[in-house]
């Protein structure tokens, strides 16, 4: 269903601070879609609308995943699972588990990696042994009408929905709404999904995550089958994501590739991702393609970003690394004596604009999210045309 193309030519030397230009070619352009033809492997040139997946064949009955273990078991991390976080490893192996259950067994030390306690954010390596305690699904809630609060929550989820069918939902997560719980967080998407539990007690599951202040496309699996398939698509990088951001200054070259290693740096009050060296403890390779779509004088640029890898804060750390931090970023905006232009809100200007991913039952899900209110205000004030062609769509996929 996909087509491999030649990677574009690149100059022999890296550009400063990890940015390298790429040159597009006709080989990178997507073929015109023909009725009855295969879906294009590249992104289409025109801005897409939220659409239902094109089902290539009648839906098949998917086999149920293996039952949850009722006693302690030890499993070995496979090559496909290497570098996965502990919590995502459990979600992939046992899609029915709730986030709170996963956090609980990890926090209590019931899950062990090579005999040692692990944190939910620790990354696994191929060949490691993982001790898994007995697991159980959350008990289904009693039947009956939803409470007033639950009804409001359900309505809020429906208002956010960009796409939905029996297996999948794509939400337009607003900026400021956390995806999962944490210290000081009382409202989050994972908790909101509790109101969508089915008769068997199963609730929709998060497939990936967005930072709290990042808005846009958030993928949700409504069934175990979909959770397994979609998680696999992210793991094997068959999902395509495009982000939009407003950054300080104008990146040169205007199209490029950022390739670094990133590692978490902890402090008493906070943690950030820093650029690290290969071999540093906890360092993971991260690759991002960027393209300048439009500029406002030489002070600001609208950039389109295409992450190849999915590291924590990857886009934010990468843009700061090439000295073009994202406007309103409280963690990574590091430009001294830089004043926010009048009328722009000091909020993170980062949107998960577009998501293209194989549908678990055939065809492709291709959904776009609109600019959130604070970014739309900035676009209007700066005279940026938000319906322009997005040049990042021709970026390589590896």
Q: Is 15 left (phi over 0), alpha (psi -120 to 50) or beta?
A: beta
Q: What is the structure's pLDDT at 305?
A: 97
CA distances from 158 to 120, 150, 204 (A): 30, 12, 13
By percentage, how much of the chain surpasses pLDDT 90? 50
pLDDT band at 21 (very low <50, low <70, confident <90, very high): low
CA atoms of 217 and 173, how far apart (whole Å): 6
- Tell me which fold the domain 1-62+148-398 belongs to: Pseudouridine synthase (3.30.2350)
Beta bridge partners of 201: none
pLDDT in tens, 174-201: 999 999 887 778 889 999 999 998 877 7
Contact 94, 39 (CB under 8 A): no
- Tell me which fold the domain 73-132 belongs to: 3.10.290
State the span(s) of the chain assigned CATH 3.10.290.10: 73-132
Mean pLDDT estimate for the chain: 81
**Token duo for residue 375:** 């970014």
Catalytic residue among 211, 329, 366, 390: 211
β-strands 73-76, 240-248: how paired? unpaired
Residue 272's nearest CA partner among 229, 321, 235, 225 is 321
State the span(s) of the chain assigned CATH 3.30.2350.10: 1-62+148-398
CA atoms of 21 and 328, how far apart (whole Å): 26
Q: Please spell the DSSP secondary structure of 122-175, one letter per residue.
A: PBP-TT-EEEE----PPPPPPPSPPPHHHHHHHHHHHHHEEEE-SSEEEEEEPT
CA atoms of 117 and 98, how far apart (whole Å): 20
Q: Which residue has the tokens 């005279």?
A: 383
Least confident of 84-93, 321-330, 368-377: 84-93
* 211 noted as active-site residue: yes
Question: Which stretches within 12-163 are classed as H helix?
Answer: 86-93, 99-107, 148-160
Q: Which residue has the tokens 């995943």?
A: 65
């Amino acid at each position: 269903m996909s087509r491999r193309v030649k990677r574009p030519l690149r100059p022999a030397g890296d550009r400063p601070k990890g940015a390298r230009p790429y040159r597009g070619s006709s080989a990178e352009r997507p073929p015109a879609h023909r009725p009855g033809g295969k879906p294009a492997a590249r992104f289409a040139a025109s801005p897409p609308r939220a659409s239902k997946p094109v089902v290539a064949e009648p839906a098949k009955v998917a086999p149920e995943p293996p039952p949850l273990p009722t006693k302690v078991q030890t499993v070995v991390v496979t090559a496909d699972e290497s570098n996965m976080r502990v919590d995502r490893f459990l979600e992939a192996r046992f899609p029915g588990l709730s986030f709170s259950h996963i956090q609980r067994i990890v926090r209590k030390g019931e899950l062990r990696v090579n005999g040692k306690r692990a944190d939910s954010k620790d990354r696994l390596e191929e060949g490691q042994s993982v001790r898994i305690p007995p697991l159980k699904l959350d008990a289904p809630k009693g039947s009956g009408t939803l409470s007033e609060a639950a009804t409001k929550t359900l309505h809020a989820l429906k208002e956010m929905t960009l796409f939905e069918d029996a297996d999948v939902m794509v939400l337009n997560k607003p900026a400021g709404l956390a995806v999962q719980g944490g210290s000081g967080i009382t409202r989050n998407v994972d908790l909101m999904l509790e109101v969508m539990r089915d008769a068997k007690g199963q609730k929709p599951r998060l497939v990936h995550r967005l930072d709290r202040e990042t808005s846009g496309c958030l993928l949700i699996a409504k069934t175990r089958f979909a959770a397994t398939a979609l998680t696999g698509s992210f793991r094997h990088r068959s999902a395509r994501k495009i982000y939009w951001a407003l950054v300080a200054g104008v990146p040169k070259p205007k199209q490029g590739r950022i390739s670094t290693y990133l590692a978490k740096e902890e402090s008493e009050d906070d943690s950030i991702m820093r650029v690290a060296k290969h071999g540093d403890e906890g360092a993971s390779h991260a690759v991002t393609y960027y393209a300048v779509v439009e500029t406002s004088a030489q002070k600001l640029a609208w950039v389109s970003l295409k992450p190849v890898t999915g590291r924590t804060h990857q886009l934010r750390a990468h843009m700061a690394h090439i000295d073009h931090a994202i406007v309103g970023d409280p963690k990574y905006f590091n430009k001294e004596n830089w004043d926010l232009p009048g009328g722009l809100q000091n909020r993170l200007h980062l949107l998960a604009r577009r998501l293209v991913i194989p549908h678990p039952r055939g065809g492709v899900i291709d959904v776009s999210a609109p600019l959130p209110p604070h970014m739309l205000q900035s676009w209007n004030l700066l005279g940026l045309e938000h319906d322009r062609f997005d040049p990042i769509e021709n970026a390589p996929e590896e």
